[in-house]
Structure 1
Amino acid sequence: MRALFLSALLAGCTALSPIALAGEAGPDAVEMAALYYYAEQKQAARLEAETNRLRLKYPDFVVPADVYSPAARQVDESALWALYEKNDFTGIEAEIGRRRSENPEWMPSEDFSGKLSRRRQRVEMMAATARKDWMGVIEAAKGLDPSTETEVDLAWMLLDAYAGTGAKDALTSVYRGLLFREGDKRLPDQQILTTLQKSTRDFPSEDVRKAMGLLATSPLLQAGLAPVELDLTRKDIADFNADEKRQTPIAEGEVGKLRAAAEKGERLEDLSLLGWYDLKLKAPESAARWFKAALAKRRDAENAKGLYLSLAAGNRQEEAYAVAQAYIEDLSADPAFLMNALSLRFSKPDQPDADGKTVTAYSNAILVTSNADHAEILAWYAYNSRQYEASRAWFAKSLDWESAPVRVKGLALSLLRLGQKKDYAALEQEYRDIYPEIWAEIKVATPPKGRRSVSVEMPVASATGGGSGYLAHFKAKRFSACIKDISALEARGAISADAMLIKGWCHLELNRLAEARNAFQAALGNSRTQADAAYGAALTLLRGRLTDDAEAMVSLYPLAERRDREVRAEIYWQRARSAFDHKQYQRVLDALNARASLVAEPADLSQLRGWAYYHLGNRGQAQAVFARLNMHLYDPAAARGLAVSTAPIR
């Protein structure tokens, strides 16, 4: 190696001038090669002697600053790079300190130092972004110039940070630096499009459209702006829907573009947006059509609400009630809405009888909301169907929440029909002076003649009172105490399927999967508890990653629609994760597609979808997934996927 190094330098000597060869200007290449060689070999004594010799021969000689750089370049930095790949900055500092203790003149190469500084910045920005520590992102981004930055996802992080802190001027400056570059610094069209899509979150539609007009300089970019234009329309419609004061419709030419896109049915969100838009414009027939189309793609509580309201606004009360009944479980998360939607069957005497499921749902919604008006409606429903115990309890409940003469009257009538004269007398004494006009009516009222086939449930006891010991423990989330009480019942041989079901839930809450599975299995034999036990058993199996067993359970014991959708969504998720771990990427997509037909796909699963496309070689589809994820809020994993899928193939 040394011979080759010296011969290469000697070969260049033929180009030296006669003056240089004569030694008048300075040392020739051979002499300098020796100097570099002694430095490279760390022969300090010979290096010093050679330096002194050259100074004697050439009085103006100065040792070049890079004499030691060959040695620096030859140092093996593989250990540092290994730590770099792990983002082990503490380990890097320790390794650098160790090497400098051996050789104080040594420094890492400029290449390593520069890349290390950059890696630190990236890691700090990504960590702060993941925490939504926007000030931390801004602090870590010091020195980043949006007008020249080549790693655009770092600038996108900064956009999210300024948007999160409301720093409009700084936000505008970053957008300007990214979008309005010139010459070879101009961003690729795809990155311009992604940046414009992000800007729809931060600026009025009019401003974004002006920027689009300035930037649409190429046919490719102009074609790519169509999705951004649709995003702006979505934003305009969403803003209109959310602003109760706005009544002036958006230009139909703009809305028409979204209607055309929605007719293709590619995005569920478009169907819902247009449904709420038309409902606000008092076009219930059109709104109902959009909501029905959305529900045909996926069950969803918000779209069910929209369909109910559209039908009710069109005076199609029976159809609206049928929607509420069909989506009882989905709407239970909004008890106030569900309560009002179901009240049709209870508020008018000429209505058909409600079924047991509806009575239960209506009762539960009343209790959750503590709504006195609806408690009164249910009480009269019970009274008029001659269910006097239930009417007495519900009238008392409504009176507890809000006093009114009609509620006192209903409670008094219920007590009379039950023959509870002592309680009636106490009630009259309490309220005679408050509501004097009702008592004469009560004394001449005739008993109702109606009867309903479905029982009205009594108001349930509070979580801390009433019922057997284990049930009170369960409601209070004292799961170990609950299991202890049930086990005592088992020891005496007095155990019911209901108790075994509760025991299963307690064990599951404590993550005792084997015990939970046994308890649920025992409750499967009773027809009354079978559905709940199958649901609990399926959840237990899924928590234990026994995916196939969980699927077999729900196939053998069919669940209610909402529960079945929940369980199968988890089954498909576990299968997608397992397939990805085994590099079976088409199976990942198959499982995710099956899951997406049941429930909305969250960001983490969309990332899995993007990587599956990437590993299958479908870079265009992968890029589309990651770009969509990165459109509204920065996510480090999605940004990495976008960067990888858009990178040139080498």
Structure 2
Amino acid sequence: MSVSFAKSVSVIAMSLVLAAPMSLGSDPKVATDDAGDLILAQAEPSAPAATPEVDESALRYFARQGDTRRLEIEIARLRALYPDWVPPTDLLSAPPQTDPELDAIWDLYSQGRLAEVRQKIAERQSADSGWSPPADLIDRLELAEARERLINASDLKQYDTVIKVASEKSELLTCSEVDVLWRVAEAFAQTNREQRSFDTYRYVLTNCENPNERLATIQNASKNLSRSHIDELLKLERKTAGIGEFEPFRDDLARAVVAEAGEDEKVVVPAEQLTRLEQLAEREKKASDALLLGWYYLRRENIDPAEKWFRQAFEAEQTASAARGIALVLIEREKFADAEGIMYRWRADDDDSRSVYLAAVANLLGTEPRPALSPDVLSSIVTEVAAAKDVIAANQLGWYARAWQQHETAKAWFNLALQWKSDDEEAAYGLGVSYFQLGQTAELAAMKQRWQGRSERIQLIGTEAQAPATTAPMVTPPQTATAAPQTAAPAPQTVQTAPDVRVRDTSAAPPRPSTSAPQVATRAPQTRSSSTSYRRGCSDFVHPETLAPEAALARGWCLMDLNRPLEAAQAFEVALRSRTDRVRSDASYGQSLAYLRAGLVNEAAVAATKARQEPSRTIELQTSILAERALGAFERGRYAEALLALDQRAQIAPERVDLMVLRGYAYMKLNRLGDASRVLEAAAGTGNRDAIRALADLRNQLNGQ
């Protein structure tokens, strides 16, 4: 371009010239001069130059097209090139363009089709050797191509190229090209020239007027500059009616610092920023702000304010994150039942929620004296512990079962924990204690042999010096996820508890239907031998892998008679390898029943498909599986899924009264009160107490509307 920049050319352009490689032809003396001296020299007035003729063709074209944005950019560009130039006032009243071909070229340019612009120019010059494109068109085309190269280089993180292109086309470095300035600033920062990056941002905030771009500039700078440089830029803030334009950024900065401190207790948050965020949270009541404060205080073990902010977040928006925070506070306060209760709804949302739920469970089970948990709560706990393969919670279930004198169940849990983590000393110790309690001396001796030299207390089991067999110490829940969810494994039989039960929800809820396997589940097919002889034969431990399929099948039914469903499922798995169709069918049937008794519905459904079944057995298993699925869906709040499972079951078997009650409650939850009334009135007509109570709940709900 023949006309050079006047004194309003940005300091950034000079900085770019200094940053450009020597191959660009820059004067070595200039390249080594002090940048501050050059900036001062640029600020000095220059000798007046002759006013050149300004090409306003692009300006008039954009005015005719009504392209306000490009019109403003062109005016800004011409003012930067020609400081004494004044925009004409007759842009919109200008006569129509007399050169349609040139007008078409401008149209291509305005659409950003730069390669086609070059092509059309070349075609016209080839057809008309006396025609030359307007200088302004060429200038703008070269500028647009440079902008495109710069943006592409920036997107590809080719930062040296960004700086090179900008130094060659300093006309890009104006307030009308703020995005280019941001990219140049980033390039400086990424090539270890933070001072020049700072100068670029400072230029924008000193010279540019657009409020949104100014706010975006300080936000962009925060990604590339140190805190000290950000503080310097904040001094350039402008105020309107006493309110600073960077207040939203200051709020976000406070959020970012507190969020970082919520993950790292070593981070120190300035009191001003902590107070700012607390005032924001109180004023705007955003759940996200309250959560940041909750995690900040919890990380520093400041429980009272942590609970305050977590509960405020939960009131604003019920989320898994807020529930986790409250649960962690409750665990710190040793209110484990409350922590389990609040996390139950969110237990499967993500890894963090599952970890906190399992920590609450482990601590709840380990409470002394042992709490009397309802069968429903224990069933939920068993399912989640098995799905997560959580060794700590499995151990606690073992100690919990032992406290209620259920040594076989305790043994099963400790054994399962060892399967998940073979070197877990706590599980090995618990299993050893169970062997001792059950009089299984050979197994205890083998356990001691395996752990010789690794655990003194295992060696002392059964001696006078044996340490008391108690629960593991309190489980500290992780504040971040520690393990991804794994495939669910079979869970031991649900621990039976004292008669007292705990109600999970005080709102109307159905009693748990009788969804266990049919009574025939406790009877093996007639092909097996007397259960009495096998009852004697399966009381001792025998690894099922050592048995032939037929013997494993018989042992599986024996274990079912002893109410040891998980061990039975393993025996049935071996029996499934038989080459005999009858044995495989019986094994598939038995394994499905075993998993149903253990409360593992999905595993039961899979087991039922492992071999062909008689039609009566197929119906028997399907009705039990669908009933369990309906109940599980209801307990998870998935009422439509519960109804779907009930509908599927109703297609193959009559609906029992207890399942009619479950259906009625599902309709109530979905606000299908007419359907609920129809079903519950029919169920209540049988005299069933649960149905009568459900009908009363429905009427109370109707009266409350």
Question: Normalising by the residue count of structure 1, what TM-score does the alignment of the two structures yield?
Answer: 0.51
TM-aligned CA distance change 1:309 to 1:488, over 3 Å:
closer
* 1:396 counterpart (415, 419, 423): 415
Deviation digits for residues 524-576 of structure 1 (CA, Å, limit 9, x no counterpart): 996258678967999xxxxxxxxxxxxxxxx98979xxxxxxxxxxxxxxxxx
Q: Which amino acid in 1 is paired with 2:496? A: R
Q: CA deviation at 1:301?
A: 3.4
TM-aligned CA distance change 1:242 to 1:395, over 3 Å:
closer
TM-aligned CA distance change 1:490 to 1:396, over 3 Å:
closer
**Are 1:293 and 2:312 counterparts?**
yes
Whether contact under 8 Å (1:304, 1:323) holds in the other structure is yes
Whether contact under 8 Å (1:332, 1:365) holds in the other structure is no
Residue 43 of structure 2 aligns with which residue? none
TM-aligned CA distance change 1:114 to 1:207, over 3 Å:
same
Distance 2:103 2:668 in 1: 59
**Are 1:233 and 2:233 counterparts?**
no
Distance 2:575 2:669 in 1: 30
- Structure 1 residues not aligned, in runs of 5+: 1-71, 471-481, 501-521, 539-554, 560-650
Whether contact under 8 Å (2:298, 2:306) holds in the other structure is yes
Residue 527 of structure 1 aligns with which residue? 630
Whether contact under 8 Å (1:325, 1:342) holds in the other structure is no
Residue 216 of structure 2 aligns with which residue? 194
TM-aligned CA distance change 1:260 to 1:343, over 3 Å:
same
Q: Which amino acid in 1 is paired with 2:384? A: A
**Are 1:155 and 2:150 counterparts?**
no
Q: CA deviation at 1:230?
A: 2.9
Whether contact under 8 Å (1:84, 1:116) holds in the other structure is yes
Whether contact under 8 Å (2:297, 2:303) holds in the other structure is yes
After TM superposition, list the pairs within 5 Å mapping 1:67-466 onto structure 2: 74=99, 76-77=101-102, 79-81=104-106, 83-84=108-109, 87-104=112-129, 106-123=131-148, 141=166, 143-144=169-170, 148-160=174-186, 162=188, 167-181=193-207, 186-203=208-225, 205=227, 207-216=229-238, 219=240, 222-246=243-267, 250-251=270-271, 254-280=273-299, 282-314=301-333, 316-333=335-352, 335-349=354-368, 350-353=370-373, 354-367=377-390, 371=391, 373-385=392-404, 390-399=409-418, 401=421, 403=423, 406-415=426-435, 423=443, 426-431=446-451, 435-440=458-463, 451-452=496-497
Distance 1:298 1:222 in 2: 30
Whether contact under 8 Å (2:221, 2:230) holds in the other structure is yes
Q: CA deviation at 1:96?
A: 4.0
Whether contact under 8 Å (1:497, 1:529) holds in the other structure is no
Whether contact under 8 Å (2:108, 2:116) holds in the other structure is yes
Percent identity for Structure 1 against Structure 2: 22
Deviation digits for residues 108-164 of structure 1 (CA, Å, limit 9, x no counterpart): 444443443444455555556666776676566553568634121332344455556
Q: Alignment partner of 1:255: what SS?
A: helix
Deviation digits for residues 196-241 of structure 1 (CA, Å, limit 9, x no counterpart): 233344445554344333443x545854233333334334434544
- Structure 2 residues not aligned, in runs of 5+: 1-96, 472-494, 502-562, 578-587, 589-604, 645-665, 671-705
Q: CA deviation at 1:175?
A: 0.8
Q: CA deviation at 1:292?
A: 1.3
TM-aligned CA distance change 1:262 to 1:533, over 3 Å:
closer
Q: Which amino acid in 2 is paired with 1:305? A: R
TM-aligned CA distance change 1:262 to 1:97, over 3 Å:
same
Distance 2:203 2:443 in 1: 80
TM-aligned CA distance change 1:195 to 1:374, over 3 Å:
same
Whether contact under 8 Å (1:241, 1:277) holds in the other structure is yes
Distance 1:460 1:155 in 2: 72
Q: Which amino acid in 1 is paired with 2:367? A: K
Distance 1:443 1:292 in 2: 46
TM-aligned CA distance change 1:84 to 1:381, over 3 Å:
farther
Q: Which amino acid in 2 is paired with 1:179? A: L
Whether contact under 8 Å (2:310, 2:322) holds in the other structure is yes
Deviation digits for residues 575-614 of structure 1 (CA, Å, limit 9, x no counterpart): xxxxxxxxxxxxxxxxxxxxxxxxxxxxxxxxxxxxxxxx
TM-aligned CA distance change 1:287 to 1:132, over 3 Å:
farther
Whether contact under 8 Å (2:258, 2:296) holds in the other structure is yes
TM-aligned CA distance change 1:460 to 1:536, over 3 Å:
farther
Q: Which amino acid in 2 is paired with 1:276? A: W
Deviation digits for residues 366-394 of structure 1 (CA, Å, limit 9, x no counterpart): 44xxx4x4442233234444555653343
TM-aligned CA distance change 1:441 to 1:301, over 3 Å:
farther
Whether contact under 8 Å (1:287, 1:310) holds in the other structure is yes
TM-aligned CA distance change 1:320 to 1:486, over 3 Å:
closer
Whether contact under 8 Å (1:146, 1:178) holds in the other structure is no
Question: Normalising by the residue count of structure 2, what TM-score does the alignment of the two structures yield?
Answer: 0.48
Whether contact under 8 Å (2:160, 2:187) holds in the other structure is yes
Q: Which amino acid in 1 is paired with 2:202? A: R
Q: Which amino acid in 2 is paired with 1:411? A: L
Distance 1:444 1:406 in 2: 13
Q: Alignment partner of 2:460: what SS?
A: helix
Whether contact under 8 Å (2:436, 2:461) holds in the other structure is no
Distance 1:396 1:342 in 2: 19
Whether contact under 8 Å (1:83, 1:91) holds in the other structure is yes
TM-aligned CA distance change 1:236 to 1:420, over 3 Å:
closer
Whether contact under 8 Å (2:331, 2:360) holds in the other structure is no
Whether contact under 8 Å (2:182, 2:201) holds in the other structure is no
TM-aligned CA distance change 1:94 to 1:189, over 3 Å:
closer
Whether contact under 8 Å (2:294, 2:310) holds in the other structure is yes
Distance 2:128 2:615 in 1: 81
TM-aligned CA distance change 1:233 to 1:356, over 3 Å:
same
TM-aligned CA distance change 1:101 to 1:285, over 3 Å:
same
Distance 1:150 1:308 in 2: 52
Whether contact under 8 Å (1:338, 1:362) holds in the other structure is no
Distance 2:98 2:627 in 1: 73
Distance 1:127 1:460 in 2: 65
Distance 1:466 1:168 in 2: 68
After superposing the two structures, state which structure 1 stretch, 113-122 or 270-279, moved more. 113-122
Q: Which amino acid in 1 is paired with 2:427? A: R
Q: Which amino acid in 1 is paired with 2:209? A: L
Whether contact under 8 Å (1:274, 1:290) holds in the other structure is yes
Q: Alignment partner of 1:360: what SS?
A: helix
Whether contact under 8 Å (2:159, 2:188) holds in the other structure is yes
TM-aligned CA distance change 1:235 to 1:529, over 3 Å:
closer
